[in-house]
C-alpha cells in the first residue's frame, strides 16, 4: 500500500525522495525534500492500534475516491461514502481490489475477508456479490441500497478489529 505518491517531471526530485526514504526519513521530511510527494495518509498510526489503522484506511480510501479522474469517479466515491456512513461497515477494515470494496476483521498484511463485495459499475449502478466483481446478491440504482444489503449480510462479523500479522 502506498504511503506516498506523486508525479514529477524531474527525475532528480524522484531520486531525492528515494534517498530520503532510503535514509529512513519521516514521511513529512520526504515531502519537504521532494515537494511533488503527496502523503496518502495511510498507516500514519504510531501505536499500530487496529481501530486507528482502520480509521486511517477509511480516510485514505475516501481521499483517493475524491481524487480519481475516471468517468465513473462519482459513482465510486458515492459507494465509498455510503459504506463509510454505515457504522457496521465503518467498524470493519476496508480494502479495494479491482475497484471493488471489501471488508476484513483484521488489518493488513493478513486480511480476514468477510461479507459481500461492493462494486460501483461503469453504468452508474452498484453491485453486491459473494465474490469479487460480482453482483449475484443484487444490483441497485443507488449506493445506499447496495450498502444496506451488505450491512444485512454482515451481522455475524460484529467484533473488534485485530492486527493482521
Residue 123 and residue 159 in one domain: yes
Sort strands 106-109 and 113-120 into parallel, antiparallel or unpaired. Answer: unpaired
Residue 91 and residue 135 in one domain: yes
Residue 67 and residue 31 in one domain: no
| 87-98 tens-digit pLDDT | 999 999 999 987
Q: What is the pTM of this model?
A: 0.77
Q: Is residue 44 part of a domain?
A: no
- Amino acid 84: pLDDT: 98
Residue 101 and residue 22 in one domain: no
Structural domain that includes position 109: 50-164
Provide the 10 A C-beta neighbour count for residue 61: 22
Residue 72 and residue 13 in one domain: no
Within 21-131, strands assigned E span 38-39, 93-97, 100-104, 106-109, 113-120, 126-129
Residue 10 and residue 57 in one domain: no
Give me the phi and psi of 4, to 5 degrees please.
-140, 155
Q: Is residue 24 part of a domain?
A: yes
Q: Is residue 45 part of a domain?
A: no
Please give the DSSP secondary-structure letter assigned to residue 25: -
Residue 30 and residue 81 in one domain: no
Residue 62 and residue 121 in one domain: yes
Residue 109 and residue 67 in one domain: yes
- Amino acid 69: pLDDT: 78
Mean pLDDT of the chain: 87
Number of domains in the chain: 2
Provide the 10 A C-beta neighbour count for residue 138: 16
| 9-40 tens-digit pLDDT | 889 988 988 998 899 888 788 888 888 887 76
- Answer with the residue of higher pLDDT: 82 or 47: 82
pLDDT at 44 over 70: no
Residue 127 and residue 77 in one domain: yes
Residue 22 and residue 75 in one domain: no
Q: Cα–Cα distance between 101 and 126 in angstroms, integer? A: 11
pLDDT at 5 over 80: no
Q: Is 24 exposed, middle or buried (0-12, 13-18, 19+ CB in 10 A)?
A: exposed
| 106-133 tens-digit pLDDT | 998 899 999 999 999 989 999 999 987 7
Residue 148 and residue 123 in one domain: yes
Amino acid at each position: 500500500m502506498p504511503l506516498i505518491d506523486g508525479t514529477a517531471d524531474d527525475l532528480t526530485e524522484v531520486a531525492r525522495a528515494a534517498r530520503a526514504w532510503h535514509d529512513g526519513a519521516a514521511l513529512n521530511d520526504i515531502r519537504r525534500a521532494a515537494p511533488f510527494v503527496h502523503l496518502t495518509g495511510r498507516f500514519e498510526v504510531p501505536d499500530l492500534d487496529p481501530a486507528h489503522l482502520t480509521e486511517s484506511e477509511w480516510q485514505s480510501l475516501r481521499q483517493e475516491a475524491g481524487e480519481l479522474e475516471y468517468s465513473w469517479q462519482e459513482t465510486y466515491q458515492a459507494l465509498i461514502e455510503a459504506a463509510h456512513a454505515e457504522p457496521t461497515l465503518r467498524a470493519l477494515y476496508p480494502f479495494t481490489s479491482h475497484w471493488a470494496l471489501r471488508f476484513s476483521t483484521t488489518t493488513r498484511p493478513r486480511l480476514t475477508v468477510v461479507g459481500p463485495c461492493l462494486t460501483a459499475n461503469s453504468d452508474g449502478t452498484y453491485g453486491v456479490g459473494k465474490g469479487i466483481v460480482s453482483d449475484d446478491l443484487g444490483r441497485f440504482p443507488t449506493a445506499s441500497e447496495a450498502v444496506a444489503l451488505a450491512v444485512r449480510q454482515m451481522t455475524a462479523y460484529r467484533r473488534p478489529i485485530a492486527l493482521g500479522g
